Amino acid sequence: MSAVPTPPAAERHPLGPGRFGELVGTALPVVQGPFGGGLSSVALAAAVSEGGGLGSYGAHIHTPEEITALVARLRAATGRPFAVNLWVPQEGEAEALAAADRMTAEHVERLRPYYEELGVRPPSAGDVRAWPDFDEQLDALLAAAPPVISLVMGLPPRRLAAEARRRGIVVVGTATTVDEAVALERAGVDAVVASGSDAGGHRGAFLRPVRESLVGTFSLVPQVADAVTVPVVAAGGIADGRGIAAALALGADAVQIGTGFLATRESGASEAHRRTLGTAESRTTVLTRLFSGRTARGIPNRFVLDMAAHEDHVPPYPVQNALMQPIRRAAAEQDRPEYVNLWAGQAAALAQESPSAETYLADLVTDARKRLPA
């Protein structure tokens, strides 16, 4: 892939498409964060894309057949570009899945009181082993050919860049450190999301442990912008026009906003989850492995506090994720926020309830334009 020259700051900062928008075909340099675990929705992704941004859908829990159907639904909902996101497997997870029989029996007992309180059946080892295979997910996604494929938590497989280019698909990788950004560019991605430790949801560190990869967004972005030639998307702690203006001033070509879009009516977040955003309670967030087996940032609740002593003992993803799915779903359905994974970034208190994602996006752009040089 040929290097893309970095344009002067004056050409980058006005809230036009910029390098990233021109790459993916959007009018605005704004990406809606790809939520996993049921928080994404076709309605949300389509609303953002129709508004001129890049709507995204997190598909890491979907089977290949579901991914094929998902891309078709997104295409039917919007004629504009959108992204579908997958999680790259991490070391030790395949071995954990192979040991599902032992791990399920060992770890389900810790969660049994919650299954019983919520009235749900604990998952069996067969339920855990049925978790979708990443390579099969990727094959299905490439065949469906969405405009953009985004990845978190690792380098793209070698075959992805060449096949995506052949099919006209833009590939976006996610970095939590400068070294990860450089590795992603070398692996052939077309753009890099610089995801700071402020960001809500799952941390994507893959070259070093999460605890050694906690770089704040506004320290990370300028360093990544200096280190790579592909467009850079700033993510983490951005929920209003001030954050957008700051990210662009630091060298980002676009921004990715997650928590702010979770508060909109189109998101897949439960009512209990949305109610906590924009409140004093959401000023505090923590990193936890308890809900999925991978480290994620969210608002602490009763479950996180009660289970804090087990942080280092829960099994890896996807085993822990499968064990927690019945609890998370039932808690959301029963409006029990004390057991819901309340993913949120460190700017969650800035996330205000909006009548629609398209309105929120328009307000973001209006606010940012007031703060950017003419």
Separation of CA 79 from chain center: 23
Which residues is 288 bridged to in the sheet? 296
User: Residue 344: what pLDDT?
Assistant: 97
Q: What is the mean pLDDT of residues 21-39?
A: 94
pLDDT digits 0-9 by tens, 174-220: 999 999 999 999 999 999 999 999 999 999 899 999 999 999 999 99
Alpha helices per DSSP H over 78-144: 93-98, 100-118, 125-129, 134-144
User: Residue 12: what pLDDT?
Assistant: 53
Instruction: Tell me the CA distances in angstroms from 280 to 4, 277, 285, one per residue in order.
Output: 43, 9, 11
User: Residue 373: what pLDDT?
Assistant: 83
pLDDT digits 0-9 by tens, 222-244: 999 999 999 999 999 999 999 99
Q: What is the mean pLDDT of residues 55-73?
A: 97
Full-model pTM: 0.94
The rounded distance, in Å, linking the Cα atoms of 204 and 37 is 15
Burial of 8 (0-12, 13-18, 19+ CB in 10 A): exposed
In what helix (H) or strand (E) does residue 174 lie, and over which residues does it extend?
A: strand 170-175
Q: How many CB atoms lie within 10 A of CB 141?
A: 24
Residue closest to 119 by CA, chosen among 324, 291, 327, 307: 327
What value, to the nearest 5°, has the Cα angle with vertex 29 and ends 2 and 264? Answer: 140
Structural contact between residues 138 and 117, judged by C-beta atoms closer than 8 angstroms? no
Task: Count each helix (H run) and each strand (E run) in the chain, helices first.
Answer: 17, 11
User: Residue 312: what pLDDT?
Assistant: 92
Strands 170-175 and 286-288: unpaired
The rounded distance, in Å, linking the Cα atoms of 23 and 17 is 9
Q: List the domains of the chain with CATH numbers.
A: 9-371 (3.20.20.70)
Instruction: Tell me the CA distances in angstroms from 150 to 33, 85, 88, 123, 324, one per residue in order.
Output: 10, 5, 10, 30, 25
- What percent of the chain is modeled with pLDDT above 70? 96
| Residue 172, CB-side half-sphere exposure with 13 Å CA sphere | 30
The rounded distance, in Å, linking the Cα atoms of 200 and 298 is 6
b/e for 229-238, b at 16 or more Cβ within 10 A? ebbbbbbbbb
3-class state of residue 48 by DSSP: helix
Q: Residue 97 corresponds to which tokens in the numbers above?
A: 């899945």
Instruction: Tell me the CA distances in angstroms from 53 to 50, 230, 361, one per residue in order.
Output: 7, 19, 8
Number of residues that make up the chain: 374
